[in-house]
A and B are shown apart, each in its own frame.
Chain A
Amino acid sequence: MKKKLISIFLAAAMTLSLTACTQESSGGDNSTTTTAGSGDDAADTTTSAAEGNGASGETITLRVWGGEEDQALLAELVNDFKAAHSDQNFDIQIGVESESTAKDTVLTDISAAADVFAFASDQIASLVRAGALANLDSMSEVLTNYSGKSIDDVKSANSAGTIGSATFKDNLYAFPMSGGNNYFLYYDANVLSEDDVKSWDTMLAKASESGKQVGMTLASGWYLSSFFMGAGFTSSTNDDGTTNCDWNGTSADGYTGVQVVEGILGITNSSAFLPVADGDLSNQIASGNLCAVVDGTWDADAAQAAFGEGYRATKLPTFTCNGTQLQQYTYTGSKLIGVNALSENVGWATVLAEFLTNEQSQAKRFEQRQLSPSNLVVSERDDVKANIAGAASMEQDNFGSIQDVGEKFWDPTKTLGELCAQKSLTVGDTAGIQQALDTAVEGITAALQ
């Protein structure tokens, strides 16, 4: 009898604790599935909370996530922030989360993620759909109260391209931190002249004469799409997260996907072209065999070290497609700082996020990290314009389009790029190329599970 009683008691205790847990986690689920529309309510309630906090002397606890290489700068900026709001007590912790992987970590458990986090602009759609980002347009009032700026001021202070990349369905969801998250051409002026790097054909011919190579990553949709966008192909996403893509058809400019692939094969068939695995670029630059490489600002130090006196950078070259020269396009990417929609102090988090991306902070970020600013005033500074990699990145931004692709985009394009890099496709084999494109498009446009 006694044993039975105990077992009943234990079972009851277990069910109780389980229901307690489910209530809590289901609350979390509700808020994670909050869509962009209902995000406003969440922001409104927290708006008043933030105002309340301002009046009382409570300590505001905030956590910030930034990239590894940003840590020292973040610590400095956070101190500036505390100094600027000295009437309020803050406990601000700085954590490490790379901008490139922020989405995955945040979406693992949004309520455990930092209040303010940096991420690359291509992750914004997924983050907004999962309800992880606070709608900043609704936070304008709080921002004005505490920093004297409205969201419209922020929008006009930054370049249109970066604001565009921080906007999702007409609402601003993040503050641009730096622009120039694209790629362009580094070259060695000792080998190649300014005219040589204008097209792939001349560049490869010259490189071949001097026994050097030109490196580019092809087995990555991010790089491969530069050719297709150059020929006028576009992509877009649907509300369910699937991607629209017509690389196997004809572009708005009248080029077919087959012609583009043949253009790429024209490049890969040259012995002076070196296809580089994704992430292996800096190692290849350091090897000293390259005289030019398609890469971004993050490898500027490696390129400078390898090319020495001849270190130059410029926009991407043109490539031959169906007999004409086409300019390669890139995605206009930026790095953004967003506010966690589930943050307990959304108001202060917004003020902090804005502070970390304002003009002074961007100036400091450029001085310490050489990242091209998105702020229009800082972009006009002479030392910003004189930065070789940054200037090339901004030049390339004139040939850019917003990255609007879903998750299914990356694997098929990687395979297609690998086929081009391995020369598995041949020029003239129209049917074979068409089939490869059809397979890729089928994968890209596939439904999400």
Chain B
Amino acid sequence: MTQKGKTIQLIKDILRHVVIVLMVSVWLIPIIWLIATSFSAYPGRNTSNFFPEQWSLQNYINILNPTSHTVNFPIWMWNTFKIAMAVCIVCTLFAVMVAYATSFFRFKTRKPLMNVAVILNLFPGVLSMISVYFLLKAMNLTNTHIGLTLVYCASSGLGYLIAKGYFDTVPRALVEAAKLDGASQARTFFSIILPISKPIIVYTVISSFLTPWTDFVFSKMILNSGIADMWTVSIGLYNMLDRSLINTYFSQFCAGGVIVSIPISVLFVIMQKFYVEGITGGAVKG
């Protein structure tokens, strides 16, 4: 290659990287701002500067040691964690079991059921919000964490599609061998299929943990008694932006936002390897 060719290549590389840096900065600016503001020594909303004038760890200390009755971040975290764990377990079990059934069993309504599930999945969950609310109210389940957990778990079986795709790639011979050795369906499922399905289980765990962890709409609607100790993290954080609180709590709100994202990030980093395998594995057959 000539000298000229090299220079052209270099210019191309530089241009390409400049574009990438620009795009990345557009994506990252809000996150950088959030993190920077969470370390601000000024408690209120600062719209005059991008970076805080004085840095401090006080926001993190304050939000983890609440003094006010209305801003009780640790309790919100605990509530959310409890709900998310319960939902995570129930949803994963359901989704994987439905996937197992649709993948390995052959029964008459298998196809129609799968079609119905896919169609139901196309409707956004919020459509059912009003009816869900009144049903829960009739059963006295509003303002309880159980009610909220039920709502999140309700459509969990519908999330079977990707897991089913993964199970379809499992050799049939494996299941048949288990059958010949006298294993029941339950035993086949728990002892043969589950151990080799780690990637897809991890994927289901992450996605079912994320829903309650990040949901605002349903929790705000169901936990409407105004009792702050009942709230989940998203309602609590939202409430910190109230007109009367924002001047004292805005920086703490940012700190809260950063803290909330930590468990998800950790979960994701640990399970990343499986996650990619899970999605691509499940995508081989749709």
CA distance A24 to B136 in the complex (A): 12
In contact, B228 and A95 (Cβ under 8 angstroms): yes
In contact, B46 and A21 (Cβ under 8 angstroms): no
In the A-B complex, the 3 residue pairs with the smallest Cβ-Cβ separation, listed nearest first, are A95-B226, A68-B70, A71-B69
In contact, B46 and A71 (Cβ under 8 angstroms): no
CA distance A24 to B228 in the complex (A): 28
Q: Which of B30-47 contact A (CB under 8 A)?
A: 42, 44-47
Sample 17 A-B pairs with CB under 8 A, ordered by A number. Answer: A21-B135, A25-B134, A68-B71, A68-B242, A68-B245, A71-B69, A71-B70, A75-B69, A95-B225, A95-B228, A96-B228, A105-B224, A109-B224, A279-B246, A283-B47, A286-B44, A302-B247
Dominant secondary structure of chain B at its interface with chain A: loop
In contact, A287 and B48 (Cβ under 8 angstroms): yes
> Given that A24-B138, A71-B68 are contacting pairs, would A63 and B226 also be in contact in the complex, using a CB cutoff of 8 Å?
yes
In contact, A72 and B69 (Cβ under 8 angstroms): yes
Question: Which residue of chain A has its CB nearest to the CB of B248?
Answer: A69
| Partner of B44 from A94, A114, A283 at Cβ < 8 Å | A283
Is B142's beta carbon under 8 Å from chain A?
yes
Point out the residues of chain B lying under 8 angstroms from A67, CB to CB.
244
Point out the residues of chain A lying under 8 angstroms from B246, CB to CB.
279
In contact, A112 and B224 (Cβ under 8 angstroms): yes
CA distance A71 to B127 in the complex (A): 35
| Partner of A98 from B138, B227, B243 at Cβ < 8 Å | B243
Is B239's beta carbon under 8 Å from chain A?
yes
CA distance A114 to B225 in the complex (A): 7
Q: Which of A85-137 contact B (CB under 8 A)?
A: 93-98, 100-101, 105, 108-109, 112, 114
Q: Which of B257-284 contact A (CB under 8 A)?
A: none
> Given that A65-B226, A98-B242, A283-B48 are contacting pairs, would A21 and B134 also be in contact in the complex, using a CB cutoff of 8 Å?
yes
Is A20's beta carbon under 8 Å from chain B?
yes
Tell me the smallest distance from the CB of B54 to a CB of chain A, in Å: 13
Is A152's beta carbon under 8 Å from chain B?
no
**Number of residues on chain B facing chain A (CB within 8 A):** 28
Is A298's beta carbon under 8 Å from chain B?
yes
CA distance A100 to B227 in the complex (A): 17
In contact, A63 and B135 (Cβ under 8 angstroms): no
Tell me the smallest distance from the CB of A11 to a CB of chain B, in Å: 17
Is B285's beta carbon under 8 Å from chain A?
no
Dominant secondary structure of chain A at its interface with chain B: helix
- Please report B residues at the A interface, Cβ cutoff 8 Å: 42, 44-48, 68-71, 133-135, 137-138, 142, 224-228, 239, 242-247
CA distance A21 to B136 in the complex (A): 10
Tell me the smallest distance from the CB of B174 to a CB of chain A, in Å: 33
| Partner of A112 from B70, B71, B137, B244 at Cβ < 8 Å | B137
CA distance A108 to B93 in the complex (A): 35
In contact, B69 and A98 (Cβ under 8 angstroms): no
Q: Which of A270-286 contact B (CB under 8 A)?
A: 279-280, 282-283, 286
In contact, B244 and A98 (Cβ under 8 angstroms): yes
CA distance A67 to B245 in the complex (A): 10
| Partner of A279 from B224, B228, B243 at Cβ < 8 Å | B243
| Partner of A21 from B42, B70, B138, B244 at Cβ < 8 Å | B138
Point out the residues of chain B lying under 8 angstroms from A283, CB to CB.
44-48
In contact, B226 and A97 (Cβ under 8 angstroms): yes
Question: Which residue of chain A has its CB nearest to the CB of B46?
Answer: A283
CA distance A69 to B248 in the complex (A): 11
CA distance A97 to B135 in the complex (A): 24
CA distance A21 to B138 in the complex (A): 7
Question: Which residue of chain A has its CB nearest to the CB of B135?
Answer: A21
CA distance A287 to B53 in the complex (A): 12
Question: Which residue of chain B has its CB nearest to the CB of A75?
Answer: B69
CA distance A287 to B48 in the complex (A): 8
Point out the residues of chain B lying under 8 angstroms from A69, CB to CB.
244-245
| Partner of A114 from B47, B133, B226 at Cβ < 8 Å | B226
In contact, B224 and A108 (Cβ under 8 angstroms): yes
Point out the residues of chain A lying under 8 angstroms from B244, CB to CB.
67-69, 98, 100, 298
CA distance A56 to B244 in the complex (A): 41
Point out the residues of chain A lying under 8 angstroms from B225, CB to CB.
63, 93, 95, 112, 114
Point out the residues of chain A lying under 8 angstroms from B227, CB to CB.
93-96
| Partner of A96 from B45, B133, B239 at Cβ < 8 Å | B239
Q: Which of A365-408 contact B (CB under 8 A)?
A: none
Query: Can you add 11 more A-B contacts, CB < 8 Å, to A100-B243, A283-B45?
Result: A21-B138, A25-B134, A68-B239, A68-B242, A72-B69, A108-B224, A279-B246, A280-B47, A283-B44, A283-B46, A302-B247
Tell me the smallest distance from the CB of A347 to a CB of chain B, in Å: 21
Point out the residues of chain B lying under 8 angstroms from A24, CB to CB.
134, 138
